[in-house]
Amino acid sequence: MTQKAILLIASAFGALSVMIGAFGAHALAPMLRATNRVETFETAVKYQMYHTLALLAVGLLLFKIEHPALQVAAWAFLIGIIIFSGSLYTLILTGVTWMGVITPIGGTAMIVGWAALFYAILKAL
């Protein structure tokens, strides 16, 4: 993935995080309360934003260092956001509870992203 693509995706995911959070706080609030999913929704949005910022950091680090582990980190954060937050959003909106089974796969991808970022910085700086 190119540096430009990483930065563009991070920017888009940042905007999406804010839009989804606002949508949940306003339009979905009654449904979230009724289904007791407020905390699940907040977790999905928080993790999306945290890892969007991590993805942005990877893109910015590419100005300073070029290490293959940064590509691993970028892909892992992207995949983690999609699977972790995406599965929680799907669970919340559809009530399909088996989606919760794949959520840890997204969390694992996020952990891999952090480990790859750590490794890239350790080796390159």
pLDDT at 100: 85
- pLDDT, position 125: 84
* pTM of the complete model: 0.95
Q: What is the CB-side half-sphere exposure of residue 90 using CA atoms within 13 A?
A: 15
Confirm if 66 and 74 have CB atoms less than 8 A apart.
no
- Tell me what the pLDDT averaged over the chain comes to: 96
What pLDDT shows up at residue 62?
96
| pLDDT tens digits for range 48-98 | 999 999 999 999 999 999 999 999 999 999 999 999 999 999 999 999 989
Q: Specify the pLDDT at position 60.
A: 97
